[in-house]
Structure 1
Amino acid sequence: MYTGEYQLVGSEMSFFTRKLEAQLRFQQIPWRYVFKTEERKGEVEKRANTHFIPLLITPDKWLIHDTIAIGPMLSDRFDQRSVVPETALQRICCYVLEDAFNHWLGRVCVHSRWCYPDNVAWVGPRFGANLMLDRSVDQPFSAEELTQLAPIGPMMHQGFGQGVCETNGVGPDQAEAVQGDFKNMLDALATHFASNDFLLGDRPCLADFALAGASKAHFICDPEPKSWLGEHSEMLHKYTERFYSDWQGELVPWPSGDKVPATLHVVLDYLQESYYPSARANITAGLAGEKYYEYESGFGTIRARTQRRLNLARLHVQDELQRSGGAQDPGVLTLFAGRGILEHYLN
């Protein structure tokens, strides 16, 4: 590979941009932000053939736009600080948790951002900082800039936010369901992080970057989801901000003996009752050619649009299960027994 600087093209208000930023920081990869501004937008989208962010431009001039592919690539390239374990149980937990957090947290992100007028008004200037001013959201705004950028929030809500919430089945009428599920997740994470720094113990993996990215761009950022944190505010702030500062000290190895934390089952319990019923219904309906699917969320029946990418992500994890021998590994079979999670990926 070529040595040099990686360019992260995206927005600081973006879940997946922040996810990739967290990995670049942890692996101590030379990188810099290139905000996707209005001025750069046309050229970038033409070259990438997509409007999605983030994009990663490598020193060897590759342009990649899917964090599911980018994450393992960077882990291999900078293997002195790899973020994918080699042993079967840890590796499979890493990929399973990344898939779940990648696709489940986005619902909370879009609902909390776009279904509350005060939050819409607040996020507009922050998008504008990257989009129009080509600078970080951390730089203070003048009164004139706040006035200038004020229309951006309502404009984005009308052109994007409202529609994406409806597509994901998390419009304003689903506030109770979204907030209830979010509380369940925080309760599970609080139990786990009471005795662990990260999802697999003392060292972050790919799944941690997904959780940290959603938290940095949304949950500890936007006023609305911040107001939902309650007793878990300190926990999530402490967990998240660790990813966005300079990493110091020696790298902690993965737990020996292919062990995972004893409390990981609490996180899996949560996902078993939340993400996986939705994912199975989504994929089944999509493969049958149906545009919409329904599932029982624990807070009533949710109707949302099918998404092709969920099955592609499922097959990605299936490949890892087969290549690593995880589908036959005793530790994997024991941890996931009776959950229906392995069956989701293998069938």
Structure 2
Amino acid sequence: MPSDRAPRAARYRVYGMSQSYFTRKLTGYLDYKAIPYLLRRFANANRSAREAGWPGAMPVVMTPGGEYMWDTSAMIHHLESRFPEPGVFPADPVLRFIDYILEDALDEWFYRAAVGSRWFYEENHRVGGWELARDATHEMQIPCDQAYAGVKAHVTATCEPFGVTGANIDSWIDEILRPWLRVTGAHLTSHRYFFGARPSLADFAFFGGNAAHFINDPLCRRCVDSDAPAIVAHTHRIMEPEDKEFGDWIASGEVPETLIAILAELGRFYLPWVSAAAENGKAELAFANGQRIEIAVTPFLAEARATLLARYVEFRSDALDEILERAGIRSYFSDYADRAGKIPSYDKPPQPALNRPFGPPWETERAAQ
């Protein structure tokens, strides 16, 4: 283990679940950084966290000093200020902004396919859904069958607000998820992580969905094994980092075509939708097979979009615009630069008020996936 990853004495307490997209994003980061923590199985019944203002999205973390914080993106920024080595943000501004683009899409887009694939395919929810319900009983103290039936009924009834239904889940898998797996898998065949020989913020966001859902749930795992086996290896590298060696970022200005292809893939569905939805409050998603669904943007996503645009303004350069143009996505940033918000401060343990689940507390998949 490199000396800059030596264990620290202070322990963080992570309230979440091993089947949770965002819990695994955070614990993957903590494991890599060798920041000591305890994972506590949790079904959103922490009264002291709610009294601190926590709005309900999993995970929530108690610091060694007894403060609560939440929102994985904000928490990682905060922890980087406290434990800067080994850093997870590329120093090169072009790579840094690409890192933010990928993390944004992974957090706000691909978790939708994760939720839908778990709960609209019986084979998946018989495994991932049961595991989730089983861990919820640690806190809820009810029979596991009851927890399983309850969370399944609620989540499948509340997926439509974020665009996923039993009728369109096949389209999400075939037109959005599997193409994404293929382009990321192709890149990871020749690169251990998104930006070279060490993981970045986007790698942990990618790991979260894979470890909790796409490598865990049977139907999705078979898709990954078939389409992009390099993703399995990437997941395992982050899952157990102790005996791994880490190197440098890719050279400044040497963005490979496989990474350009990943950005271009985001230009097919996510960036057109989020650009229009953040502008108008909602936008239509149209699949190639003719299915259509209108999806409203949440206040949290609208704020995240404004923050990403602020980062574009901060890092904008001819070199960055050239990369975005090669990928066919520059307009989704340059045409909206005047909508940029403010970049938050991460000096204190973050407690963003808008980071809340789609529905009532523990049962919502965004909160308890």
Identify the TM-score tier after normalising by the shorter chain: 0.7 to 0.9
Q: Report the alpha carbon displacement of residue 61 of structure 1 after superposing the two structures with TM.
A: 2.8
What's the TM-score once normalised by structure 1's chain length? Answer: 0.86
Amino acid at match of 2:285: Y
Quote the Cα distance in structure 2 between the aligned partners of 1:277 and 1:252: 35
Mapping for residues 200-211 of structure 1, pairs under 5 Å: 200-211=195-206
**Structure 1 stretch 117-126 or stretch 304-313: which is displaced more?**
117-126
Deviations 1:39-97 (A, max 9, x none): x5334333343221111222233311111211222222211111112221111111111
Report SS of the residue matched to 1:294: strand
Amino acid at match of 1:330: D
C-alpha contact (below 8 Å) 1:212/1:240 kept by paired residues: yes
Quote the Cα distance in structure 2 between the aligned partners of 1:249 and 1:167: 41
Q: Report the alpha carbon displacement of residue 299 of structure 1 after superposing the two structures with TM.
A: 4.2
Question: In the alignment, what sits opposite 2:162?
Answer: 168
- Higher RCO (C-alpha under 8 Å, 6+ residues apart): 2
- Give the alignment partner of residue 59 of structure 2, picking from 42, 54, 57: 54
Distance 1:130 1:120, change over 3 A: same
Amino acid at match of 1:27: K
Question: In the alignment, what sits opposite 2:4?
Answer: none
Report SS of the residue matched to 1:81: coil
Quote the Cα distance in structure 2 between the aligned partners of 1:314 and 1:164: 23
Report SS of the residue matched to 1:94: helix
The share of aligned pairs that are identical, in percent, is 25
Quote the Cα distance in structure 1 between the aligned partners of 2:233 and 2:103: 20
Quote the Cα distance in structure 1 between the aligned partners of 2:98 and 2:30: 21
- Give the alignment partner of residue 235 of structure 1, picking from 230, 236, 240: 230
C-alpha contact (below 8 Å) 1:5/1:30 kept by paired residues: yes
Mapping for residues 9-158 of structure 1, pairs under 5 Å: 9-37=15-43, 40-133=45-138, 148-158=143-153
- Give the alignment partner of residue 270 of structure 2, picking from 275, 288, 292: 275
Amino acid at match of 2:214: F
Amino acid at match of 2:62: I
Unaligned 5+ residue runs, structure 1?
135-144, 287-291
Q: Report the alpha carbon displacement of residue 281 of structure 1 after superposing the two structures with TM.
A: 2.5
C-alpha contact (below 8 Å) 1:122/1:153 kept by paired residues: no
Report SS of the residue matched to 1:132: helix
Query: What is the RMSD of the two structures over their aligned residues, measured on CA atoms?
Result: 2.4
Q: Report the alpha carbon displacement of residue 245 of structure 1 after superposing the two structures with TM.
A: 0.8
Q: Report the alpha carbon displacement of residue 344 of structure 1 after superposing the two structures with TM.
A: 6.0
Amino acid at match of 1:126: E
Question: In the alignment, what sits opposite 1:252?
Answer: 247
Quote the Cα distance in structure 2 between the aligned partners of 1:330 and 1:110: 38
Question: In the alignment, what sits opposite 2:286?
Answer: 296
Question: In the alignment, what sits opposite 1:195?
Answer: 190
Quote the Cα distance in structure 1 between the aligned partners of 2:277 and 2:34: 37
Q: Report the alpha carbon displacement of residue 29 of structure 1 after superposing the two structures with TM.
A: 1.0
Unaligned 5+ residue runs, structure 2?
1-7, 339-369
C-alpha contact (below 8 Å) 2:14/2:39 kept by paired residues: yes
Question: In the alignment, what sits opposite 1:142?
Answer: none
Q: Report the alpha carbon displacement of residue 250 of structure 1 after superposing the two structures with TM.
A: 4.9
Quote the Cα distance in structure 2 between the aligned partners of 1:306 and 1:164: 15
What's the TM-score once normalised by structure 2's chain length? Answer: 0.81
C-alpha contact (below 8 Å) 1:124/1:149 kept by paired residues: no
Distance 1:205 1:133, change over 3 A: same
